[in-house]
Chain A
């Protein structure tokens, strides 16, 4: 029983991470029709900024140092995401394939640049000690960072829902996902919200990056890319452009991956997620969103 509980909480933690990355991807796709391959780079930028800031703050105790570094990382990651939209995506409005191609170019070039400057080996990040400890619940020893992941994803889900349902910008974004040309016809410049959506996506991915460095205590140039591939799967299973669908899909994918890795065999978790994707596509080509919405 305690093993099952441990797997469930860890699976939820993993799902939380996927949700943080996939929510931005899903919003960007829903509103702009762009599959953002550069999303993994947002993770890399935040992660490396965090590591770099931390390494410059030598004398400061671990907890404030990590918090400051995380804050700087999040700001830089968000600004970077907004800049990618403004400088590289904006000039190509209406040309979806070219926009996807540019994000691919950004993903490859920035990853290569980071590798060139800091090498391909992982860099160690000092995380507060509490995060590495475990909390015992019903006999299950659960690593503390999992609680942080779940809490952060819950807050982001809540904040996104509140933003989308309660604010004027959220209304424009929702309407834009539904029917962009109609919103434009009503005299609202949807394109202004594009930068906003990119910044939100960058921020959410940055939060995932901070949590991932807590979990792995390292940053490396490839980790963004590997996380994003699962986030892509989550977005497709959840139905493109739906935040709630994405949240459900992230939880399902995280749990399936953990259970399969433990009860079947290690490595099978990743494969069963792909299998799940195949089943969902055969049964429901548009993703799960309609069944949950």
Chain B
């Protein structure tokens, strides 16, 4: 049971956050128990979980997908449409969303996995793009096109609606992150999980051993997609509406940034990457409108107005100098030494 002690302790500690009235200067604008701070923390936890679901594909199975946003968007849009346009109850909508997410992942995964490597990346991108176009063009008048729409909040459970209930949303996001962590941990320690990691290392060898990589990859793909769909439902509760932003290729790319910045193929890495990225993205926006920044000369000020510029540059720096991600920063010295002493070899990709 010792292995579960650390994550469990962290979850319990985080669960008590909304009860604290502590003010942390610089890190947060308001004290911890205010709705604004709790909402930011909830978003961070949600994206921590979502990044980990992406890492299940990218870091643990070696599948570079550019279409993860599609399954997240299914969670957001299908649930919201079922409640708003079809007037279904909350739980009916959630069940239906899970079913749609599952079937879509099985069908599209089965098609996309016929190709591998970069072609797989492009095919998943194309399917996600189809979803994005559907949401944008809005053929049935359900999605609200470019502007998106707000969910019919009468259908949501009463204890999740309203600014006073933000702490409940925070707990839901925490539960989601903890559940993803536990599921991913269980999955990668199971026997299919070992095959996933073997596929990442050397797919041909897995085939030679008499296993079919295709079905294992599909399994990983469906599980990761389902976790993303669940994340979409949590996002809907947090944000209260759907917008096309979550369907775009850029959304998947930000997940990739989170995972690589935090550290691929590591549960803590992906999760911390997602949390840090979301936090930095939000706080850099606040910072760029602050007094200190407006004093800067425009050549420094202009790039600071776009958090994505700073995060994109950070990402490139991490790829170059900290290949294991920020959670493995202790190994940087070692890595730099190796890079300087001899040219990169193929083995380092593994």
Contacts and interface: CB of A to CB of B under 8 A. Distances in A.
Say whether A associates with B.
Answer: yes
Interface of A: 29, 33, 35, 37, 88, 91-98, 100-102, 104-113, 115-117, 225, 229, 232-233, 235-236, 240, 265-267, 270-271, 274-275, 277-278, 281-282, 285
B54 to A, nearest CB: 13
Contacts of B127: 274, 278
B302 interface: yes
Interface of B: 64, 111-112, 114-115, 118-119, 121-123, 125-127, 129-130, 133-134, 137, 139, 249-250, 253-254, 256-257, 260, 302-303, 305-309, 311-313, 315-316, 319-320, 323, 343-346, 348-349
B316 A98 contact: no
Contacts of B257: 104-105, 108
A40 to B, nearest CB: 10
Nearest to A101: B319
Nearest to A270: B133
B253 A282 contact: no
Given A101-B260, A265-B139, A274-B129, A94 B122 contact: no
B319 A108 contact: no
Contacts of B126: 229, 232-233, 236, 274, 277
Contact of B346 (A94, A112, A274, A282): A94
A180 to B, nearest CB: 12
Say what secondary structure dominates the interface of chain A. helix
A102 B119 contact: no
B125 to A, nearest CB: 6
Given A229-B125, A236-B123, A267 B260 contact: no
A113 B343 contact: no
Contact of A108 (B111, B253, B320, B323): B253
Contacts of A235: 122
A267 B344 contact: no
B249 A95 contact: no
Given A106-B316, A267-B133, A271-B133, A92 B309 contact: no
Given A108-B308, A229-B249, A113 B303 contact: yes
B183 to A, nearest CB: 25
Contacts of B345: 94
B204 to A, nearest CB: 16
B123 A93 contact: no
Closest 3 CB pairs of A and B: A109-B312, A267-B137, A112-B309
B114 A116 contact: no
Contact of B316 (A105, A115, A270, A274): A105
Given A100-B64, A105-B313, A274-B130, A240 B137 contact: no
A94 B344 contact: yes
A98 B349 contact: yes
A109 B312 CA distance: 5
A282 B114 contact: yes
Contacts of B125: 229, 232
A218 to B, nearest CB: 17
